[in-house]
Structure 1
Amino acid sequence: MPPVGGFYRPLSEPLLIALKRRSTVILTSIVLGLGFIIWCQRPASQPKAFVPNRLATVRNHTFDGTWDYKRDRFNFMLNTAQCEQAFPGLFAEIERPKTQREKRPITLKEINAIVPRNGYVRAMIINQQLYIIATEGRIYSRELATLHSIYRAIISSPEPLPDIEFAFNSDDRIDNVALWGYARRPDDTNIWLVPDFGYWSWPEPKVGTIREVQMKAEWAEEMGGFPWKSKLGKLFWRGATMNLELREKFMAASQSESWSDVKSLNWKDKESIADDLKPMPEHCHYKYLAHTEGNSYSGRLKYLQSCRSVVVAHKMDWIQHHYPLMRSSGPEQNYVEVRRDWEDLHEKMQWLIDNDLDAERIAANNMKTFRRRYLTPAAEVCYWRHLIRSWAEVSFEPSFFKEVGGKKVWRGLPAESFFLERRMDWDPY
């Protein structure tokens, strides 16, 4: 439009509106562009993934030197110092054999001399990798469960673990040699104790993982209507007597007692199982839970210790890795011990019934010590790592290769492959 008198003529209203809109679009584009540039130059951060609230506490908080059950129980990344702070007394069954072997280190010849029996596994850890060297037989899923537990402790460790070679056996009774095992008698001083297979899972009787049992126990007591005052005031036990004198005497001592809910199971009788068997979390409905050994130790104890109930156990011949934490008297008492022949069972039960506040205190100590601390997944991985480091301090340095026909050959099979095939050799095609 030509100028008039040195000035442009006024713009038409539609044109003004169009220019304003164009300016707004340009300004918005500039702001968005600057925002995108600033966003791209921000410090890198991890995306927030959805996790259940209870697990989120592990990721959002670090261990501060004081054990906090809700925050720390699923923390697999405690370092050596933190494990010692969190679980004092847990490693007694590692320090015992370690002290014994400091002046007489474990040798390769000693491991080679172990007779492979059913349930035997030989393995090594090199450069943070678990290798399976040899196996013999299979006892249900026990060996796999233990290998998975070891594997988890390795891959979640915040610190490198030393190279070691070792052997374990998953049977109830094992030779008194430099083996890792689930239980020992007092004279079996060469056995190094490890958490039993049930900490990973015990699928055959459908017990599940220790974490599953504890979560259901906690739910039953805190949300399912079974706090201490609502629990049944009876001594509960279910199991097969297996013609064992120890269990037969227990049955005799507990029969016809008003405080007894003790029954023998016949695993071949479907009616007996349907009527009398109770899943482990339902044991927590009772104030008093009986524990008996079987052919050797009984893996049931850790489940009973997951309830806020009083564990009543005879004097035991067998020891598992966490038994040094059990207290039968004093302010920290966390179970009630009776004679091995059960002759004082009636007397001890009557004391518990007459002294309900003391019984409640013992039950609370049981729950606080075991379910809420020493039987947690965090405690388990700490135990495995302490065992691996302690074994390395008194044992030989493993070799990654062996010589066959004048050539170096790789020893062992990576655990990942073994877990998938569950055997040492297979055809590649």
Structure 2
Amino acid sequence: MGIPHMHHRSARRTARLRQIVVVCVICLAIYCFLLVPDESLDSSRSTNPEAYQSRARPQQQREGERHHALPPDLLSNRFLTEDQCRASFPGLLEQVDNEVAKGPFKLEPSPSSLGPLFARIRDGQLYILSAARKTDLSRDMLAHRSATLHQIANALLTWPRPASSLPSSPSPHIPDTIFAFNHHDDPLATTFSYSRPADPALLVTPSGEVKRFFPIPHFGFYSWPLPFIGSLPRAARAISQIESSLSFSDKIPRAVWRGTTWFNNPRAGRLRQNLVRAFGPGAPGADTRKWADIEALDWSSTGGDRNASNALRIEDFCRYKYIIHTEGVTYSGRFQFHNLCASVVLTPPVAWIQHVTHLLRPVFSYTLDPSAPDSLSSSPSSSRRNLLRSLLSPFLLSPKLEDKETKTPGLPRRPVELGGREKPPPLSPYPAPWMRSAWQTEHDPSEANIVFVAPDWSDLEATVAWLETHPRIAESIARRQRALFEDGGYLSPAAEMCYWRGLIRGWSEIVRVDEGAFGDLEEVTWEEFSLKEIHK
């Protein structure tokens, strides 16, 4: 009788203690909301850059806060040292550093011949150990694989030699390692992949083991052999010509999208199809909808030249004020091309993180106030919301409760009309719980460089209308995007090489390889392998 009674008293104490903690946290939140001066909550204001930088990561300037463009000579310099890389591009290697901080992992051979490519770096030379056969890969897959391996080879060739090393020594400054490279769109753990999931729940196994993801620069940095794309350096030059001759106010005041509608992640539903059905040609009200230029690519009359009849060259998207971005089965390769534009990118919350996606500073459409002035001054509302959420998150046991606690008077949402007799789909949860987990910081429009909209497009039209009535804010969002990725150089040749070398360096520190498991694999030099890739 005594023991159950003691358990009962202990349970009551625990419940009472929890109530006290909840009350204290709520009181603190109310204090912060009502009594704390705005400046103490928002140290990111442009009027106080010193206070903002004091919150930066140790020995790093906060990414995206550079106030001047880097010189072209630096951005084209592929031979920067690690210290120069980190000083020039703060935060570039954040994802690599995060993986290194998690400690060692073991690299296992793939049991499938269609699995990732395995390669060795030894004495600064690249060797291919195993790779899927050419006959098992499409032309596009072969091109993507080859382009990425060229990037890695270039990173090794441009690896700066320490001044203290002997010219005759092989390459002691380049770490020896074995790595796996996955050239498919779906990322694989413990491989170099083009993206990783944004949802933290997808970064662990069902048993709770942490997955290890290593995003790499897109193959388009080397070449993307489509007539309307080419390569990222080519596109960057073309975009710069457009941006230098076209002000934001002179851009086409429409939201543009081109793409194929059949690439969708199951989690996203019919995202691309519904975008075209709701706002494309033939959609209900299309004749009077002047804000949208949305079309599915038409491949019916291309004659085999791989160029859709209504395609836009990638740089011509920058002629529009607003660019709609949609992910596909996973990431979208065009995203980083759009990041070079001084245009506002409108996208559902990004679900796949590429190597610089973590630099985005999104404003969520549901936080946009229809009655807000067109002012560039920072509002304390987003800082207060972020603080309140962080304080209350341990006690918000369900998404419904969280939505009640953080509800804001955002833009109106209306179910999209899909045409025909089909009923409008119900509104989807926005933001869904995974979106809150993946993108925990809500930025104010005055500091954002991208706009997240509802994934069912229910507030897309309202968001464009809000931006049109707030042209100063819209232009500032567009300018911040280009200032970061173009002027700040995060998509430059220099940053690309910096990232590759930082990734190889970080990978080699934590990977653990059983040499015996790879001992039977024949080493083929990269030079020989590359020639075999282009010949039958």
TM-score, normalised relative to structure 1? 0.75
| Matching residue within 334, 350, 364 for 1:300 | 334
Please state how far the C-alpha of 1:113 moved relative to its aligned partner: 4.3
| Matching residue within 169, 180, 184 for 2:192 | 180
| Matching residue within 297, 321, 346 for 1:265 | 297
Paired residues of 2:79 and 2:158 also in contact (CA < 8 A): yes
Match status 1:343 vs 2:458: yes
Alignment partners' CA distance in 2, 1:172 and 1:402: 25
Alignment partners' CA distance in 2, 1:401 and 1:142: 27
Structure ranking higher on relative contact order (CA contacts 8 Å, 6+ apart): 2
| Matching residue within 180, 183, 200 for 1:170 | 183
Letter in 1 for 2:194: Y
Change in 2 beyond 3 A, CA 1:116/1:92: farther
Q: Deviations over 1:217-268 (max 9, x none)?
A: 101221xx42222211110111111174011222244343221011111323
Alignment correspondent of 1:251: 276
TM-score, normalised relative to structure 2? 0.60
Letter in 2 for 1:117: L
Paired residues of 1:164 and 1:398 also in contact (CA < 8 A): no
**Over the residues paired in the alignment, what is the CA RMSD in angstroms?**
2.6
Paired residues of 2:263 and 2:328 also in contact (CA < 8 A): no
Alignment correspondent of 1:30: none
Change in 2 beyond 3 A, CA 1:67/1:79: farther
Please state how far the C-alpha of 1:384 moved relative to its aligned partner: 0.6
In the alignment, structure 2 segments of 5+ residues that lack a partner are 1-67, 162-172, 204-210, 265-269, 281-285, 363-442
Paired residues of 2:298 and 2:308 also in contact (CA < 8 A): no
Partner SS for 2:253: strand
Alignment correspondent of 2:355: 321
Please state how far the C-alpha of 1:204 moved relative to its aligned partner: 3.7
Q: Deviations over 1:181-206 (max 9, x none)?
A: 00121314322111121111101455
Where does 1:140-289 land on structure 2 (aligned, <5 Å)?
140-159=142-161, 160-175=173-188, 177-185=189-197, 186=199, 187-188=202-203, 189-222=211-244, 225-242=245-262, 244=264, 245-255=270-280, 256=286, 257-270=289-302, 275-289=309-323
- 121-130 or 134-143, which deviates more: 134-143
Paired residues of 1:289 and 1:304 also in contact (CA < 8 A): yes
Moved over 4 A (4+): 271-275, 397-404
Match status 1:80 vs 2:100: no
Please state how far the C-alpha of 1:167 moved relative to its aligned partner: 0.6
Alignment partners' CA distance in 2, 1:68 and 1:158: 20
Alignment partners' CA distance in 2, 1:82 and 1:363: 28
Please state how far the C-alpha of 1:283 moved relative to its aligned partner: 1.1
Alignment partners' CA distance in 2, 1:72 and 1:259: 39
Please state how far the C-alpha of 1:111 moved relative to its aligned partner: 2.3
Letter in 2 for 1:260: A
Where does 1:27-176 land on structure 2 (aligned, <5 Å)?
68-100=70-102, 102=103, 105-107=104-106, 110-113=107-110, 115-117=112-114, 120-137=116-133, 138=137, 139-159=141-161, 160-175=173-188
Paired residues of 1:168 and 1:179 also in contact (CA < 8 A): yes
Percent identical pairs in the alignment equals 31
Letter in 2 for 1:338: V
Aligned pairs, how many?
346
Alignment partners' CA distance in 1, 2:219 and 2:297: 23
Alignment partners' CA distance in 2, 1:306 and 1:84: 21
Q: Deviations over 1:364-384 (max 9, x none)?
A: 111111123111111111111
Paired residues of 1:240 and 1:267 also in contact (CA < 8 A): no
Please state how far the C-alpha of 1:399 moved relative to its aligned partner: 5.7
Paired residues of 1:401 and 1:411 also in contact (CA < 8 A): no
Please state how far the C-alpha of 1:269 moved relative to its aligned partner: 3.6
Q: Deviations over 1:40-87 (max 9, x none)?
A: xxxxxxxxxxxxxxxxxxxxxxxxxx9724231111111011111111
Letter in 2 for 1:389: R
Letter in 1 for 2:259: G
In the alignment, structure 1 segments of 5+ residues that lack a partner are 1-65, 405-409
Change in 2 beyond 3 A, CA 1:379/1:400: farther
Q: Deviations over 1:24-44 (max 9, x none)?
A: xxxxxxxxxxxxxxxxxxxxx
